Amino acid sequence: MPAWNQRLTKSLHQTRNQPESRYFQLATIDGEGIPENRTVVFRQLDDADYSLVIVSDTRSGKWASLTHQPMASVCWYFSKTREQYRFTVAGSCFTRNDEPTLINKHWSKLSDAGRKQYFWGRPSSVRQNDAPLRVNVDMSQPPEHFCVMKFKIQAVDYLSLQGNPQYREKHWQDKAGNWITQPVIP
Ligand SMILES: Cc1cc2nc3c(=O)[nH]c(=O)nc-3n(C[C@H](O)[C@H](O)[C@H](O)COP(=O)(O)O)c2cc1C
């Protein structure tokens, strides 16, 4: 297991009782080259290809941006352990048309409240007169626009504020695919 993965596994364990430690910031680049950033829920670290997994909506801005530019950046701060991870990632997006098993797995884990959000209407479209967002549909099956996004980790910049001095290290893969770790000045 790469050293960064051991650290992240430990951070997740130490903060397992803090729901806010499951949120990270995902930054992408839109079609005009402008950075955009938003909070998302961490769903899984896929050990098979070292990717961070989230669920989202194909009608959201991030889908369009990732289609244009798959490279993205994740910033994740664990306030309890005072650790920051910055991941350079390559995004890929899946719907029920290409990965039905993956989609059903993540849909089945969502609460009713989580599922409802996917039936409110097109994200970012105009909401008329504060119209109520009522949902009276069968939510047992995921809609076509429900998607899973995987962000394959390519490099990691880790910073710990626990000690004095602080500790920072970088992680990347060499040409043979081995993970290299290098402590650097914070
Ligand atoms: C705590 C929190 C968790 C969120 N989790 C997600 C998520 O897992 N997936 C998602 O698509 N949006 C999530 N959002 C909403 C996004 O931050 C964002 O507003 C939305 O996805 C539209 O972003 P976009 O237009 O840049 O794609 C979350 C927002 C907050 C505040």
3-121+135-184 is a CATH 2.30.110.10 domain: yes
Name the closest-CA residue to atom 5, ligand 1: 40
How many A from CA of 62 to the centre of ligand 1?
9
**Looking at ligand 1, which atom is closest to the CA of residue 37?**
26
Nearest-atom number in ligand 1 for the CA of 60 is: 27
Alpha carbon of 38 to ligand 1 centroid (Å): 6
Residues 53-109: tens digit of each pLDDT: 999 999 999 999 999 999 999 999 999 999 999 999 999 999 999 999 999 999 999
Q: Find where tokens 């429900």 sit.
A: 146
113 confidence band (pLDDT: 50, 70, 90): very high
At 39-68, the pLDDT tens digits run 999 999 999 999 999 999 999 999 999 999
Quote the Cα angle for 165-169-170, to 5°. Answer: 155
pLDDT of residue 129: 79
pLDDT value for 136:
86
Q: Please, which pLDDT band fits residue 11 given cuts at 50, 70 and 90?
A: very high
Q: Which of 79, 64, 57 is nearest to 146 (CA)?
A: 57
Structural domain boundaries in the chain: 3-121+135-184
Question: Which pLDDT belongs to residue 58?
Answer: 98
137: Cα within 13 Å, side-chain hemisphere: 15
Protein residues with CB under 6 Å of any ligand 1 atom: 23, 36, 38-41, 54-57, 60-62, 123-124
Q: Give the pLDDT of residue 131.
A: 78
* pLDDT for residue 149: 98
d(CA 21, CA 27) in angstroms, rounded, equals 18
Return the residue whose CA atom lies nearest to atom 31 of ligand 1: 39
User: Relative to the CA of 20, which ligand 1 atom is closest?
Assistant: 1
What tens digit of pLDDT does each residue of 128-185 get? Answer: 878 788 888 999 999 999 999 999 999 999 999 999 999 999 999 999 999 999 999 9
In this predicted structure, what is the pLDDT of residue 40? 98
Question: Which of 30, 39, 106, 110 best tests ligand 1's pocket when mutated (most atoms within 8 Å of CB)?
Answer: 39
Q: Read off the tokens for 65.
A: 């941006």
